[in-house]
Structure 1
Amino acid sequence: MHNFIPPSRFFPYLTWTEIEAMPDKENVVIIQPAGAIEQHGPHLPIIVDSAIGMGVLGKALEKLDASIPAYAMPSLYYGKSNEHWHFPGTITLSTETLSAMLMEVGDSLYRSGFRKLVFMNSHGGQPQVMQMVARDLHIKYSDLMVFPLFTWRVPHITKELLTPKEAQLGMHAGDAETSIILALLPDQVKMERAIAEYPPEQPEGSLLTPEGKLPFAWATRDLSKSGVIGDATTATREKGLQILESVSDGWVMAIKDIYAFRQPQSDREC
């Protein structure tokens, strides 16, 4: 049931009495992974985002100092994936459903006495949902510290392992994701089907991009016929092992920061 997570760090393996008696509960770090079940081209399984989140988190919790109390919740495997729903196999929740699930997880953990909650999101289609729910939970419970984090935003070396074009334009099912799945679930990767496909270029001089500071709305089929946005053909397991080590090291740093974090308190009265 714990998948890649060390059993001693898997929240559902605790009893209610262990949770009730947990010391310094306000600083225990609870991590809710959130992924997706969505197409990742003809060569990768649809569990990619969820597998990456659990794989990275499991490796990070293995490395984390035993004196830091941190626990992984079961992954939320389904996410807001409607940008991919033209491809068979994609399962998507609405924004409203995903938000309600996250809010109610937060409510439940708050009732149990926890005050530090991490949303560890591994799907690029839903960071805004995580951010809005995190803010709403903190407004609802002023002493609840919520961290809406994206798995790939911690310090890591991944871009150093990619070509300049892939580092700039690779977005989905390309080199990085294929490599890390080769490290985590090698038997589920069909490299003979791997392809390279990049999105159509915008007119020269345009400031608009699918992602970035000035984005436009898009569905995956607008950018790719195969569902791949990047170059999967250059992926290797060796590269994936390096990525896994580096990203999980970044998560060890992040969890340590969260454990030591104290919510800022201004002197203003309002």
Structure 2
Amino acid sequence: MINNSKEKKHEYLIEEMNAVQVRKTMNEKTLAILVLGACENHGDHMPFGSDFIFPTEVAKRVATKMSNVIVLPTIPYGVSLHHDKFQMTMSINPETMVNIISDLLTSLIQNKIRRVLIINGHDGNIAPIEIAARSIKNKYSEMTIACLESWWILVGQIRKDLFEVWDGLGHGGEAETSAVLAVRPDLVHLESAPKDVIPKLPENIRIFWKFDELTSTGATGSPKKANIRKGREIVQIIEDILLSFIKEMEMTDWKYGLYLK
């Protein structure tokens, strides 16, 4: 349901709510949003929390525009084993990450929350999310678990014209740097951005690389092409996609596939 009030105070952030507010707010049709990120080097120009700073802000913006939505505390760490050669990479083992996600989803179902939207900000979390989500769905068939897996790929596919190099791709590259510029410009130092690094990789077959095999700076892509205008457009694109998805699902009471017959 769309929230028509001009201002919605922080009654959607679980970390800031008390028990009275939770009882008043939550019901069996509540949608819980969970943001997953990472803590790792993104080059000299970007903060270590880039992978959760942007998606957390998007989650909050979505929640302010919808009613009956709660935002869970962000998980600021992820599976970053492939970045461990870079300073202050804080990584969770894949098995541990699967367990964390599974435990959180189980906690939600125990609290009668059956609708979950995961917003992911880090590539290393994609596999653990799928393993956990499929396992929990198999155990609790009444639960609907959705996920925006890789916003950084999606924006380049939707708006190729927005980016100048590599469809905006890159770790701390054109799209990601622009996105963080839009929500936390105080944390981005474009003057320190490294030169373009477009890794030479096969097109159709995936290689499971270590990040230090691709770059010596912690960043790839073309961060110097980033700007706040692109970032604001990225924010709007992702926000619109998420809002459209939620509204579409609400129209069918979160039913899909054969359940619609």
Query: For this structure pair, what is the TM-score category when the shorter chain's length is used for normalisation?
Result: 0.7 to 0.9
- The residue number in structure 1 matching 2:43 is 41
- The residue number in structure 2 matching 1:111 is 110
Matched, 1:102 2:140: no
| Aligned CA-pair RMSD | 2.3
- The residue number in structure 1 matching 2:5 is none
Gaps of 5+ in 1: 203-207
The answer as to whether partners of 2:14 and 2:72 remain within 8 angstroms in 1 is: yes
The answer as to whether partners of 1:38 and 1:90 remain within 8 angstroms in 2 is: yes
- Per-residue CA distance 1:80-103 (angstroms, 9 max, x = gap): 011111100110000111111111
How far does residue 20 in structure 1 lie from its aligned partner after superposition? 4.7
- The residue number in structure 1 matching 2:228 is 237
Separation in 1, partners of 2:199, 2:122: 22
**1:252 counterpart letter in structure 2:** L
The answer as to whether partners of 2:31 and 2:117 remain within 8 angstroms in 1 is: yes
How far does residue 263 in structure 1 lie from its aligned partner after superposition? 4.9
**2:97 counterpart letter in structure 1:** L
The answer as to whether partners of 1:41 and 1:226 remain within 8 angstroms in 2 is: yes
For the residue of structure 1 that corresponds to 2:230, the secondary structure is: helix
Cα distance change of structure 1 residues 65 and 179 upon mapping to structure 2, 3 Å threshold: same
- The residue number in structure 2 matching 1:222 is 213
- Per-residue CA distance 1:111-149 (angstroms, 9 max, x = gap): 111111122111112211111111001111111111132
How far does residue 252 in structure 1 lie from its aligned partner after superposition? 1.0
For the residue of structure 2 that corresponds to 1:100, the secondary structure is: helix
- The residue number in structure 2 matching 1:11 is 14
The answer as to whether partners of 1:34 and 1:123 remain within 8 angstroms in 2 is: yes
- The residue number in structure 2 matching 1:79 is 78
- The residue number in structure 2 matching 1:88 is 87
How far does residue 13 in structure 1 lie from its aligned partner after superposition? 3.5
The answer as to whether partners of 2:61 and 2:239 remain within 8 angstroms in 1 is: yes
Percent identity of paired positions between Structure 1 and Structure 2 = 25
Separation in 1, partners of 2:105, 2:18: 19
Separation in 2, partners of 1:159, 1:58: 26
TM-score (norm 2): 0.86
**1:262 counterpart letter in structure 2:** K
The answer as to whether partners of 2:123 and 2:150 remain within 8 angstroms in 1 is: no
* Pairs within 5 Å for 1:51-200: 51-62=53-64, 64-66=65-67, 69-150=68-149, 152=151, 157-163=158-164, 165-167=165-167, 170-200=169-199
For the residue of structure 1 that corresponds to 2:225, the secondary structure is: coil
Separation in 2, partners of 1:200, 1:179: 20
TM-score (norm 1): 0.83
Gaps of 5+ in 2: 1-7
Cα distance change of structure 1 residues 231 and 108 upon mapping to structure 2, 3 Å threshold: same
Separation in 2, partners of 1:146, 1:16: 25
Cα distance change of structure 1 residues 105 and 171 upon mapping to structure 2, 3 Å threshold: same
How far does residue 39 in structure 1 lie from its aligned partner after superposition? 0.9
